[in-house]
Structure 1
Amino acid sequence: MSADYDRLFHSSGDAVQTADDVDSDGPTSEVTTSGPGRSEVTPPPMPLAPSMTQAAPPPRQAEVTTQMPTTRPAPPLRQQPNGMLRTPAAPGPAGARFEQQRPAPTPLSRPAPAPAPSQHFAEAPSDADAVVRVGQPAATSAATIGNHRAIDALSHVGVKSAVKMPPQRGWRRLLYVLTRINLGLSPDELYEMELHTRIRRNARDSYQIGVFGLKGGVGKTAITVALGSALSKVRGDRILAIDADPDGGNLADRAGRQSAATIGDLLSDKELARYNDIRAYTSMNGSNLEVLSSEDYSGARREFNDEDWKGATGIVSRYYNLVLADCGAGLFQPAARGVLSTVSGLVIVASASIDGARQAAITMDWLRQNGYQDLLGRSCVVINHVVPGKPNIDIEDLVQQFERHVPPGRVVVLPYDKHIAAGTEIQLDLLGKDFRRRTIELAAALSDDFDRLERR
């Protein structure tokens, strides 16, 4: 009897313990009562081996999920009598009323892949900047290329026109007039257009050019008028030539005198306020070159000096883009010193003779020895044929000798011209073809210095 009681008591204890397990861990065993005083415990089904269970898929990379916090921690795994681990069931009540809404996951950006060990990174950027890898081309920004606009760079791009410019002279012009066959400009016309483009360079402030020559009769005044007329006709702006010869120059007569006013009259006028006020004291030729004459030598009370030059240029430099000075034969004169102190370009005139070549060489040596080395670098040498016929000196050899002291292309040889030799008013259209072309080349060489920094 006691044995049956003990067996029944322990069986009930096991049943009670199993019921507690059901309450705490879920249904693991089942208790059945077959009759009064007897109960049987049905063991739970044997769990499958880990190898027989289906492996769960690995979690996705960079996938973020939000889980609701549980009310109690998950129970630990229990050791079964047969030595196998039992996986506890997930606790929590079931049913629709107990289901909680899971918030939608916040979309996050996928992190950048880790760099290879061989890659190197630049200096750590700020929070607002991205990491820049060394060795990879960085994005070009406005700060990298500076303040240059993209539209400005297009001005240097060559563009071919669909229409050719018709020729203006030669057999190409004749063919175009007769047959309307346009072969375009000749090489000589293209070269002339290039010279005109160089002459049209912008001259900042008032660019001043002096025309010098130690020997009289070499054609300084004629070259001043021809050069000024060529510059004025090609550029189309205001250009003034001033007679700075203290020994009574005739610049106004060679350019075509229209006014009897002189530099002295201009300097004595204290009410000059506009261009028209100055225009009343100048003369203008057919190429729109204006000339300001010096005092009449017979009636002048003193010679033209450096104060007169600086006073005149201080007035006219506000209204004229280019100012040319027709200087005398000496370099030690006050007027010559005043011109050398303000000019930015120089023309050294020599006759096509051995005597004229010596005077030009002395002028270049004097400039170099008296502190005008930079001005010599912006000078041009003109070898002028003042008399007809072949000279008594090798012109080609003379050109090579002068090119050692001035930049290349700045030694110009002017041929003999009958219109110049006549001594009358000089008109650009009446000059010979070769003389005009050489004058244009001289103007282009001087214009190359308009954008240089070595300005006075």
Structure 2
Amino acid sequence: MSADYDRLFHSPDAVQTVDEEPNRELPPAGRDGVMPQGTASSADAPSSAPAAHARTQTASVPHQTWQTENPSQVTGQLQPVPAHASQRVPNNGMMRTPQAPNGARHEQQRQTPPPAPRTAPAPPPSHYYGDSADQRVPAQPQTASAASMGNHRAIDALAHVGVRSVVKMPSQRGWRHWVYVMTRINLGLSPDEIYELDLFTRIRRNARDSYQIGVFGLKGGVGKTAVTVALGSALSSIRGDRILAIDADPDGGNLADRAGRQSAATIADLLSDQELHRYNDIRAYTSMNGSNLEVLSSEEYSAARREFNDDDWRSATDIVSRYYNLVLADCGAGLFQPGARGVLSTVSGLVIVASASIDGARQAAITMDWLRQNGYQDLLGRSCVVVNHVTPGTPNIDVEDLVQQFERHVPAGRVIVLPWDKHIAAGTEIQLDLLGKAFRRRVVELAAALSDDFDRLERR
């Protein structure tokens, strides 16, 4: 018996039996290192080979059922993780202490601390989104830089950066121009030239759709046709796009004669053509002056079978609006005429022409009152009043006082006083370059005032 005992506990096979699989876990110890019931301790180890063989089998049993899946359901407390198997197998001096071989596979398992309770406070609700606690997902943090960037492009921000030109534009007239010519000293533009460039900038504003402007006057001989040609020529020379003036006077207007007649075609010929598909088809019926202003003349009064009416105007504008950016209408003297009603129903701007006389001032005042009382109040807010000196010399009316009275009914800066011009008074074809300097400047100011309404949302 003693020989078998020594051979069992001191043989290499017995020691290897305990440590031949160091990877496997041994049965866990109880609380405070106490072995669970049913496991033999070192004090109670029997002195027989069957007992040692039973201990060997117990040490080699893998860890399967000693630890429950949720210890808190059994005891209500978190259970400690069992210690390593080498700490639970006592060394009674009869067994060699196994040396752990090198290598990650044979490293002893560390005693892990108890897991932290799963009752950590949730982050503030502002950092989450979702309906329930299980569906809440942390929201992405919004930094100040990301919020300030947004969806704007970096190149767009450069449009607001001020840049100074290193080269000044030389003056083109006046004493500054002569100083530059004689000494090459560039003093820059004069205040008058800077003001003129500002007027040009306003006139070059983009007009949405085909912007239509009507020229009215209740009294004949106040210069409506001359104002229409001069205004259209100034707009065309400064803007450079297509501008058309239509003779909408049913009483035998002479718009084509004052602008320079090149074609014998009339608006009646245009309306009778059913094959108008391109700009060149329209161009065959219009005349063009030196400023590239095109004119569509009315039907010859002696040969006309009826007067120009609202249907003619609407049909003509439906055709030409696809090819011209601006359309001017030279209207007659009456507001109750069908042609005048058709023009008022489509135009977005208005020019009221009055002569520099008490009679002409009364007719202009009647026109403004009629517009206000007949539902054209908004159109009156986009109107300009022109006080035209049709005769030379000093008029018998205080023009400055007249301007102040008219500015009470239209926006400020929209009452334009045109001086008498001998080129206009000649009654021939009007050329923009032959107009007087003061007359031409006033016409440019009139064009700039009307252009201020190009980007307004409200229309007819």
Same fold at TM > 0.5 = yes
Determine whether 1:71 maps to 2:84.
yes
Flag the 1:73–1:273 CA change in 2: closer, same or farther, 3 A.
same
Partner of 1:201: 205
C-alpha contact 1:253 1:425 (8 A) present in aligned 2? yes
C-alpha contact 1:399 1:411 (8 A) present in aligned 2? yes
Matches within 5 A, 1:72-221: 95-97=99-101, 100-101=106-107, 122=126, 124-125=128-129, 127-130=137-140, 139-140=146-147, 145=150, 148-221=152-225
Q: CA RMSD in A?
A: 2.8
Determine whether 1:254 maps to 2:276.
no
Task: State the Cα deviation string for residues 224-257 of structure 1 (Å, max 9, x = none).
Answer: 0000000000000000000000000000000001
Determine whether 1:308 maps to 2:308.
no
The one-letter code of the counterpart of 2:165 is S
Looking at structure 2, the residues matched to 278 and 97 of structure 1 have their Cα atoms a distance apart, in angstroms, of: 102
Could you say what secondary structure the match of 1:97 adopts? Answer: coil
Looking at structure 1, the residues matched to 247 and 315 of structure 2 have their Cα atoms a distance apart, in angstroms, of: 14
Partner of 1:296: 300
- How far is the alpha carbon of 1:153 from its aligned partner? 3.9
The partner residue of 1:358 within 352, 362, 369 is: 362
> Which stretch shifts more, 217-226 or 401-410?
401-410
Matches within 5 A, 1:12-31: none
Flag the 1:391–1:201 CA change in 2: closer, same or farther, 3 A.
same
- How far is the alpha carbon of 1:128 from its aligned partner? 4.9
Looking at structure 2, the residues matched to 354 and 120 of structure 1 have their Cα atoms a distance apart, in angstroms, of: 79
Looking at structure 2, the residues matched to 433 and 296 of structure 1 have their Cα atoms a distance apart, in angstroms, of: 34
The one-letter code of the counterpart of 2:392 is P
C-alpha contact 1:213 1:348 (8 A) present in aligned 2? yes
Could you say what secondary structure the match of 1:171 adopts? Answer: helix
The one-letter code of the counterpart of 1:191 is Y
- How far is the alpha carbon of 1:408 from its aligned partner? 1.3
Task: State the Cα deviation string for residues 335-359 of structure 1 (Å, max 9, x = none).
Answer: 0000000001000111111111111
Looking at structure 1, the residues matched to 97 and 331 of structure 2 have their Cα atoms a distance apart, in angstroms, of: 116
Could you say what secondary structure the match of 1:95 adopts? Answer: coil
Determine whether 1:445 maps to 2:449.
yes
The one-letter code of the counterpart of 2:372 is R
- How far is the alpha carbon of 1:93 from its aligned partner? 5.7
Looking at structure 2, the residues matched to 94 and 120 of structure 1 have their Cα atoms a distance apart, in angstroms, of: 54
Partner of 1:86: none
Q: Which runs of 5+ in 2 are unaligned?
A: 1-40, 44-79, 89-95, 111-119, 130-135
C-alpha contact 1:122 1:131 (8 A) present in aligned 2? no
Q: How many percent identity over aligned positions?
A: 79
Flag the 1:102–1:227 CA change in 2: closer, same or farther, 3 A.
farther
C-alpha contact 1:209 1:347 (8 A) present in aligned 2? yes
- How far is the alpha carbon of 1:120 from its aligned partner? 8.4
C-alpha contact 2:371 2:380 (8 A) present in aligned 1? yes
- How far is the alpha carbon of 1:71 from its aligned partner? 2.6
Looking at structure 2, the residues matched to 155 and 370 of structure 1 have their Cα atoms a distance apart, in angstroms, of: 45
Please report the TM-score for the alignment, with normalisation by the length of structure 1: 0.73
C-alpha contact 2:248 2:332 (8 A) present in aligned 1? yes
C-alpha contact 2:128 2:137 (8 A) present in aligned 1? no
The one-letter code of the counterpart of 1:127 is V
Task: State the Cα deviation string for residues 194-231 of structure 1 (Å, max 9, x = none).
Answer: 11111111111111000000111110000000000000
Task: State the Cα deviation string for residues 83-113 of structure 1 (Å, max 9, x = none).
Answer: xxxxxxxxx9673428844799xxxxxxxxx
Q: Which runs of 5+ in 1 are unaligned?
A: 1-22, 26-66, 76-91, 105-113
Partner of 2:73: none
Determine whether 1:242 maps to 2:249.
no
Task: State the Cα deviation string for residues 397-449 of structure 1 (Å, max 9, x = none).
Answer: 11111111111111111111111111111000000111111110100111111
Looking at structure 2, the residues matched to 221 and 151 of structure 1 have their Cα atoms a distance apart, in angstroms, of: 48
Looking at structure 2, the residues matched to 138 and 417 of structure 1 have their Cα atoms a distance apart, in angstroms, of: 63
Looking at structure 2, the residues matched to 419 and 324 of structure 1 have their Cα atoms a distance apart, in angstroms, of: 22
Could you say what secondary structure the match of 2:328 adopts? Answer: strand
The partner residue of 1:387 within 382, 391, 395 is: 391
Could you say what secondary structure the match of 1:365 adopts? Answer: helix
Task: State the Cα deviation string for residues 120-160 of structure 1 (Å, max 9, x = none).
Answer: 8746346252456xxx9574166xx5x55443343343321
Determine whether 1:407 maps to 2:411.
yes
Partner of 1:348: 352
Could you say what secondary structure the match of 1:242 adopts? Answer: strand
